[in-house]
Structure 1
Amino acid sequence: MTRLDRYLLSQLMALFGFFALVLVSVYWVNQAVRLFDRLISDGQTAWVVLEFTALTLPNVVRVVLPVAAFAAGVYAVNRASQDSELVVMQATGASPWRLAWPVAVFGLIVALMMTLLVHFLVPASRAQMADRQQQVTENVTARFLVEGSFQHPATGVTIYIRQISELGELLDIFLSDARAGSTRTTYTAERALIVPSDSGPKLVMFDGMAQTLRLSDQSLATMRFADFTYDIGALMSVSARSKRSIDEIMTVPILRAPDEVIAQTRQEPAALTRIVHQRLAQPLLAPAATLLGFSVLLLGGYSRFGLWRQIGGAIFGLIVLQFLTNAVDSATKSAPEAWWLHYVPAGTALSVTALLLWWSGRPRRRPRSATLPAEGVSA
C-alpha cells in the first residue's frame, strides 16, 4: 500500500473506532436498562444483570459495525473535502477508483470482524444466554418457596415450609394438590430438596406420607414413602428447553452435522441453508455500506459549506439498503429456498457504487459561459 492508502486507512480506522464505541454504548445501555428492570424485579443480583448484559454485547456489536463503518467513511471524506485534501488528491491524478481502494480495504477489515461475530461469537453468546435464562427461571421457581408461610404458586396448590436450612434443605414440608378436581392429595415430609433435571426442577421429598382423598365417596388412601419426586417445574410453569434455537448454533456444526442440528432445532433443511447464507451475506453489508457512502460523497465538488446534500443522499442510500435487507429477511423466512436473496442488498449497493464511481470519474465540461469565444479575441 502506498503512503496515501495508509493515510486514508488510518483515518478510517480511527473514526471507525470512535463511532463504534459511541453507537455500541448507546445501543448496549438501552438493552441493559431493560434487562436490569426485568432481572431485578425477579430478585436477581447485580452480578446476574452484568452477566446478561455482557452476553448481549456480541449481537449489539454485530448490528452496529456496518453503521459505524458507514459513518466513518462519510465523515472522513467530508473532512478531507473541507480541508482541501480531497481536491489535492484528485489534482495529483488519483481517480475515484484509486481513492476507493483504501476504503474497500477498510470495508474488508470490518467484514472480517463481522464474520467472526456472526459465525462464532453471536451464536455462542446466545447459547450461553439461553442456558443462563433457564437457570434463572429455576431460581425464580425456588424463590416461591418461602419458609413459615403458606404459598399458592398455582390454582389448587398450597405449599408450607417450616424452615429452610443453610444447606438448602426444606424442613417439615406440607404440600396440598387439588388440581385434579375429583381428588385431593396432601404430601407431608420431614425434609425435601429441589433438584434440577432435564425436564425442569423437581421437588424430592424424604420420609413422608401421601394422603389422597376421593371427593366422590370421601374415601382416604394413605401411602408412606422413603423418597418421592414431585414435578414442581410443571407446577410453576417452568420446563426445560425441548429444542435449541438455530441462532444458538455456530455455522461450522451446521455444515458438518446438519442431521444432528435438524434433530436439535426441529428445522427443515431449507431453513438451515437459509441461515447459513444469511450469515455469509451479513459481513458483506459493511464494505457495501462504506463504499456506497464514499461514492455518493465523491459526486460533490469542493464547497466551503461542505457536502451536506451528498451526505443526505448517502444517508438515504443507507436507509434504502437497510430496508432492502429487512425485506429480504422477511421474504426468506416464508420462502427459505430463496436463500440467494440474502446477497441482493450487498450486490445492489456495490453495483450502485460502481456506477457512481464511474460517473464521478467522467471528465466534467465547463459551462459555455465560462469559456472565451474563439473569434474576436485580440492579443
Structure 2
Amino acid sequence: MTLIQRYLFRQITRPVAAACAALAGIGILSQSLDQLEIIVERGQSVWVMLKLTLLAVPQLLAVILPIGLFVGALIALTRLQREQELTAVFASGVTRWAAIRPAIRLAAIVAVLTLLITTIVQPWAQRTARTEAFAIRSDIAALLVEEGEFVEGPDGLTVYVQQIEQSGLLKNLFIYLPDGDDATTWDAAEARFERIDGAPMLTMLNGSTTRYSSRGVLTYGSFDRNVFDLSPYIDATERPRFKPSDLYLTQLFDPAPQDVGTVGSRGELTAEGHARLSAPLYALMAMAMALAAIMGGQFSRTGYSLRIAKAAAAFLVVRVVGYGIVAGSAWNGWLNILQYLLPIVATAIALRLLFRALKPRRSRRVKRALKAQAA
C-alpha cells in the first residue's frame, strides 16, 4: 500500500476496532450478568464465571464483527468526507479505486477472521463451555453444600455445613443418611471434597459417626480421618448434551448417527454449517453498504444522515432476513443457497450504487449542448 492508502487504512481501522470493542464489551457484560447464578446458587468461584463468560465471546464476535465493521466504517468515512480529507486525497492524484482499496482490504481481513471464528474457535469454545457448565450442574459438592443450611440430596442424604472457607475447606460438617428403618450420621470438624481415582469423595477429619438400627441399637465411634464415597449419589450415565453450535463443520455436514436426533435433525445441522460458511459474506456486505452510503452520492455539506439511515435500515433488514433464512433452512434444504445469495446480492447492489456514483456524470446543460452540436 502507498503512504496515503496506509493512512486511510489506519483511519478506518481504528473506529472499526473501537466499535467492535464496544459491542463486545456490552455482550461480555450481558453474559457475565447471566453467569452470576454460578456464584450465587452454585457456589463457584469468580474465575469459573469469568472462564464461562470468555468462552461465550467467540460466538458473540461472529455476530458483532460485521455490525462493528459497518458502524466503524460509517464513522470513519463520514469524518473523512466531512473534513474533506477524501477530497484532498483525490486532488493529490489518487484514483477512487485506490482510495477504496484499504476499506476493501479491511473487510477481507474481517471476513477471514469471521470464518476462522465460526469454523474453529466457536465450536471449541462452545464445547468447552458446555462441558464446564455440565460439570457445574452435576457437581455434587455444589448441590449438597450450602453454608448454614440443611441441604437434602439424593436418597435422603442430608448435609449441613456451618462454614465454607475460600479454599473449599468445610467447617463443622454434619451428614445424615437414612437406610430403610436404619439411619447413620457423621459429624466432622473439617472436611473437603476430593476426587480419588476419578470418583467423588468427601474426606472428613476429626469426627464421629453414629448408627441407629431398627432394633434400637445405637452404635457410636470416632475417627481421625474418614472417606465418604459420593459415587452412589451421582448418575454416571449422564453426559453433556451438545447443540448444533457446538459441533465442527465436519460433524455438521457428516454427522454421526448419535448426533442426529440428540443434537439436532440433519436439516438443522446442515443449516448451521451453511450459516457459518456464509457469515463472512456479511462482513463484505457491511463495508460495501458503508462505502455506498458515504461515497455513493454527491458531496453534501449538510451531512449524510438520510443516506446513512437508508444504509443502516437496509443492513438491518438483510441481516434479520438472513437469520430467518437460517431458521427456514432447517426445514427446507433448498433455502440453504439463499444463505449465500442474500449477502452476495446485497453486496452487488451496494457496489452497483457505488460504481454508478464513481462514474462522471454529464449535466443536463452539457447533454443539451452535445445534442445541439450533433444536430
Where on the TM-score scale, by shorter chain, does this alignment land: which range? 0.7 to 0.9
Match of 1:358 in 2: 355
- Partner SS, residue 300 of structure 2: coil
CA–CA separation in structure 1 for the residues paired with 2:71 and 2:147: 57
- Partner SS, residue 175 of structure 1: strand
Q: Is the Cα–Cα contact under 8 Å of residues 243 and 264 in structure 1 kept in the other structure?
A: no
Distance 1:107 1:185, change over 3 A: farther
Q: TM-score, normalised by structure 1?
A: 0.74
Q: TM-score, normalised by structure 2?
A: 0.74
| 1:115 to partner: Cα distance | 1.3
Among 246, 249, 252, the alignment partner of 1:251 is 249
2:288 is the counterpart of 1:297: no
CA–CA separation in structure 1 for the residues paired with 2:87 and 2:109: 26
Aligned length: 349
CA–CA separation in structure 2 for the residues paired with 1:186 and 1:239: 29
Quick one: which amino acid aligns to residue 63 of structure 1?
Answer: V
CA–CA separation in structure 2 for the residues paired with 1:285 and 1:262: 29
Q: Which runs of 5+ in 2 are unaligned?
A: 203-208, 215-227
Q: Is the Cα–Cα contact under 8 Å of residues 292 and 350 in structure 1 kept in the other structure?
A: yes
> Which has the larger displacement, 3-12 or 313-322?
3-12
| 1:2 to partner: Cα distance | 3.6
Identity %: 22
Structure of greater relative contact order (alpha carbons < 8 Å, 6+ residues apart): 1
Root-mean-square deviation (CA, aligned residues, Å) is 4.4
- Partner SS, residue 304 of structure 1: coil
CA–CA separation in structure 2 for the residues paired with 1:316 and 1:162: 57
Match of 1:276 in 2: 273
2:158 is the counterpart of 1:159: yes
> Which has the larger displacement, 90-99 or 286-295?
90-99
Distance 1:55 1:242, change over 3 A: closer
> Which has the larger displacement, 84-93 or 7-16?
84-93
Distance 1:324 1:75, change over 3 A: same
- Partner SS, residue 44 of structure 2: coil
Q: Is the Cα–Cα contact under 8 Å of residues 292 and 314 in structure 1 kept in the other structure?
A: yes
Match of 2:51 in 1: 51
Residues 113-169 of structure 1: CA deviation (Å, up to 9, x unaligned) = 111111111111111111111121123664425699754447x9463579999988x
Match of 1:120 in 2: 120
| 1:185 to partner: Cα distance | 6.6
Among 340, 344, 348, the alignment partner of 2:345 is 348
Q: How does 1:1-379 map to 2 (within 5 A)?
A: 1-37=1-37, 39-91=39-91, 97-139=97-139, 142-145=142-145, 151-153=151-153, 157=156, 159=158, 173-176=175-178, 188=184, 231-233=232-234, 240-241=238-239, 243-252=241-250, 254=252, 258-259=255-256, 262=259, 265-366=262-363, 368=365
| 1:280 to partner: Cα distance | 0.6
CA–CA separation in structure 2 for the residues paired with 1:97 and 1:90: 10
CA–CA separation in structure 2 for the residues paired with 1:144 and 1:283: 46
Distance 1:4 1:67, change over 3 A: same
